[in-house]
């Protein structure tokens, strides 16, 4: 009797180990991103700013999408238009999944980037792109939270200026978690690859 009970206990234990092994085998492998993996970062958790239509926006409303946030300004001569065009190209590369890649453009220049200017600028690249603005205090707070550097550089003409600013992309997964930092110039192919990996992860 004792022998039978011991045998049953051994079989139950073996079954539990086997089930655990199967579950471990089904666990998805961690993603190897092309950009910088910042999963678990405590900064950049949200961008609580109004859009160019005056509506408050938040990363939570884009659940199910990969969200890409970029800080810049409309009169930027090179970095900003190049980066936003790469975002458009990444959406095209994703094909049918392109609609699940959401661009967010945060203006660092509220004095010149009026709501009308911002709307025209962002929507010229992508009608679905969301442009965010706010007061100087609001923008400074959000930029600080994302560890974004920006500084006004006076121009040659009175009243003219440019902005030196950080130029990377912040990429959120479909659950609204910040996952990837893409350095300036990595290109549309890299962005599309990491975005697809996050979309596929969400389906697993």
Alpha helix stretches (DSSP H) within the chain: 2-26, 79-94, 115-125, 136-145, 188-203
Please state the rounded mean pLDDT for residues 105-130. 97
| Percent of the chain scoring above 70 in pLDDT | 86
- pLDDT over threshold 60, residue 7: no
- pLDDT over threshold 60, residue 17: no
Q: What's 36-203's CATH class? A: alpha beta
Q: Quick one: pLDDT at residue 60?
A: 96
- pLDDT over threshold 60, residue 202: yes
| 166 strand-pairing partners | none
Q: Quick one: pLDDT at residue 26?
A: 53
Contacts for 89-98: CB closer than 8 Å, 24+ residues apart: 89/188, 89/192, 90/188, 90/189, 90/191, 90/192, 90/195, 91/126, 91/192, 93/188, 93/189, 93/192, 94/192, 94/195, 94/196, 97/195, 97/196, 97/199
Q: What are the residue boundaries of the structural domains of the chain, listed by start?
A: 36-203
Tokens of 122: 């962002």
Q: Please, which pLDDT band fits residue 204 given cuts at 50, 70 and 90?
A: confident
Tens-place pLDDT, residues 20-71: 444 445 556 778 999 999 999 999 999 999 999 999 999 999 999 999 999 9
Q: Quick one: pLDDT at residue 28?
A: 60
- pLDDT over threshold 50, residue 18: no
Count other Cβ atoms within 10 Å, centred on residue 193. 17
Q: Quick one: pLDDT at residue 157?
A: 86
- pLDDT over threshold 90, residue 149: yes
d(CA 20, CA 18): 5
Q: Please, which pLDDT band fits residue 11 given cuts at 50, 70 and 90?
A: very low
């Amino acid at each position: 009797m004792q022998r039978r009970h011991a045998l049953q206990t051994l079989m139950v234990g073996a079954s539990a180990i086997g089930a655990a092994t199967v579950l471990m085998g089904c666990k998805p492998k961690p993603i190897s991103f092309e950009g910088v993996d910042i999963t678990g970062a405590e900064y950049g958790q949200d961008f609580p700013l109004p859009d160019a239509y005056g509506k408050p926006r938040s990363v939570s409303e884009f659940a199910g999408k990969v969200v890409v946030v970029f800080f810049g300004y409309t009169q930027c001569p090179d970095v900003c238009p190049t980066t936003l065009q790469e975002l458009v190209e990444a959406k095209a590369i994703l094909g049918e999944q392109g609609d699940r890649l959401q661009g967010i453009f945060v203006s660092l220049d509220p004095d010149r980037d009026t709501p009308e200017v911002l709307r025209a600028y962002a929507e010229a690249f992508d009608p679905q792109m969301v442009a965010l603005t706010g007061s100087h205090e609001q923008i400074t707070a959000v930029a600080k939270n994302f560890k974004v550097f920006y500084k006004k550089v006076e121009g040659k003409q009175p009243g003219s200026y440019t902005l030196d600013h950080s130029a990377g992309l912040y990429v959120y997964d479909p659950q609204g978690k910040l996952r990837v930092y893409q350095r300036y110039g990595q290109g549309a192919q890299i962005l599309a690859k990491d975005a697809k990996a996050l979309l596929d992860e969400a389906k697993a």
